[in-house]
């Protein structure tokens, strides 16, 4: 690993390279052991150089945003994690188009849209993730999805090749996209919004914020909605009807406020969380014959 570090230090500053970094500092669940190397690049060139180096050295790596949809093992992560978040979050506004780097938070992008009197992004204003993650999984809420506003994604593959993919070729579906299938990494994305009055946009954002705060356990560490919506059902209702509201294993709990959320109630470990996920899946399947798939991504050995 020292050989890799020496090469990384030739083009990254030391603040961009963290050794044995606890991943609980970088995930919304607030759990996870240390990663061998955490890399936080600031430019597209740094991202490309990192990918080429790690690929050439056959050094394992994983790409993350701000960790809002990620469960990291208590044993940590072997290899490198590349974090595209606040250090890679510029946005340019041209007419009704926002061209933003993948690390920008959706909440920050929604404020940029608001300040430029551009509507259509309100649905994403309360989603706790980055633009890159939102496009990768075609994030959506309250009747809106990224596919509705996305023009194109500027991407890079793991060998360092950079190219553009337009919306029609991104295969955007329910929590899926060609980005996932082809194992690509989003560098930036363009979204097209529409001119709208500032008051109207703000009113919609405030209304959605009120709905989220009243219905979701935002006061507790979590990864948002834990399970995908099974066809014909709602995950939260299946869990509630299985008698699991408030059910707790270790420090992890099925939220009392919204059964579709598993929260870190009391210094949970990643093992607590995954054990509770498996228990919920088992009980729901026994009661209703429905398999619950997780929205949360797992990283490391469980």
- Phi/psi zone of residue 76: left (φ > 0), alpha (ψ -120 to 50 degrees), beta? left
208 within some domain: no
30 within some domain: yes
User: Among 62, 83, 104, where does a domain finish?
Assistant: 83
The SS3 call for residue 121 is coil
Whether residues 68 and 123 share a domain: the answer is no
User: Among 139, 169, 201, where does a domain finish?
Assistant: 201
Report the run of H or E that residue 36 belongs to, with start and end: strand 34-39
| Choice among 21, 46, 122, 295 that is catalytic | 295
Verify whether residue 175 is a known catalytic residue: yes
> 107-141: per-residue pLDDT in tens?
999 999 999 999 999 999 999 999 999 999 999 98
Query: Which residue would you say has higher pLDDT here, 175 or 38?
Result: 38
Whether residues 135 and 182 share a domain: the answer is yes
| Choice among 89, 222, 225, 242 that is catalytic | 225
275 within some domain: yes
Q: For residue 166, give both structure tokens.
A: 């337009």
> 172-194: per-residue pLDDT in tens?
998 889 999 999 999 999 999 99
> 55-77: per-residue pLDDT in tens?
999 999 999 999 999 999 999 99
Whether residues 79 and 96 share a domain: the answer is no
**pTM above 0.75?**
yes
Whether residues 230 and 197 share a domain: the answer is no
221: pLDDT strictly greater than 90: yes
Residue 40 to residue 95: CA distance in whole angstroms? 31
Write the CATH number for 148: 3.30.465.10
Q: Domain count for the chain, please give it.
A: 3
Write the CATH number for 6: 3.30.43.10
Residue 274 to residue 71: CA distance in whole angstroms? 8
Write the CATH number for 245: 3.90.78.10
Could you tell me how far CA 114 lies from the centroid of its own chain? 22
Whether residues 96 and 165 share a domain: the answer is yes
Whether residues 244 and 146 share a domain: the answer is no
1: pLDDT strictly greater than 90: no
Whether residues 142 and 179 share a domain: the answer is yes
What's the domain range around 221? 217-299
| Choice among 175, 188, 242, 255 that is catalytic | 175
Whether residues 141 and 178 share a domain: the answer is yes
Verify whether residue 78 is a known catalytic residue: no
Verify whether residue 107 is a known catalytic residue: no
CA proximity to 135, closest of 169, 179, 193: 179
211 within some domain: no
The number of helix segments (H) and strand segments (E) in the chain equals 8, 19
């Amino acid at each position: 690993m020292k050989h890799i570090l020496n090469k990384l230090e030739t083009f990254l500053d030391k603040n961009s390279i963290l050794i044995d970094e606890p991943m609980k500092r970088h995930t919304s669940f607030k759990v996870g052991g240390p990663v061998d190397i955490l890399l936080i690049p600031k430019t597209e060139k740094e991202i490309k150089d990192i990918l080429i180096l790690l690929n050439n050295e056959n050094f394992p790596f994983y790409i993350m945003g701000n960790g809002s949809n990620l469960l990291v093992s208590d044993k940590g992560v072997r290899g490198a994690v590349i974090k595209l978040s606040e250090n890679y979050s510029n946005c340019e506004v041209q007419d009704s188009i926002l061209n933003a780097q993948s690390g920008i938070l959706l909440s920050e992008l929604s404020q940029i849209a608001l300040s430029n009197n551009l509507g259509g992004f309100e649905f994403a204003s309360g989603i706790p993730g980055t633009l890159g993650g939102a496009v990768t999984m075609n994030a959506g809420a309250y009747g809106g999805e990224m596919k509705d506003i996305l023009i194109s994604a500027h991407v890079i593959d793991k060998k360092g090749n950079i190219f553009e993919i337009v919306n029609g070729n991104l295969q955007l579906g329910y929590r899926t996209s060609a980005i996932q299938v082809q194992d690509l990494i989003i560098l930036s994305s363009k979204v097209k919004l529409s001119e709208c009055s500032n008051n109207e946009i703000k009113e919609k954002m405030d209304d959605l914020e009120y709905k989220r705060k009243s219905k979701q356990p935002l006061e507790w560490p979590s990864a948002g909605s834990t399970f995908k919506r099974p066809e014909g059902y709602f995950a939260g209702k299946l869990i509630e009807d299985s008698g699991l509201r408030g059910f707790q294993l270790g420090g992890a709990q099925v939220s009392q406020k919204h059964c579709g959320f598993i929260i870190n109630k009391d210094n949970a470990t990643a093992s607590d969380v995954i054990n509770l996920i498996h228990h919920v899946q088992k009980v729901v399947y026994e009661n209703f014959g429905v398999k619950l798939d997780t929205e949360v991504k797992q990283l490391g050995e469980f």
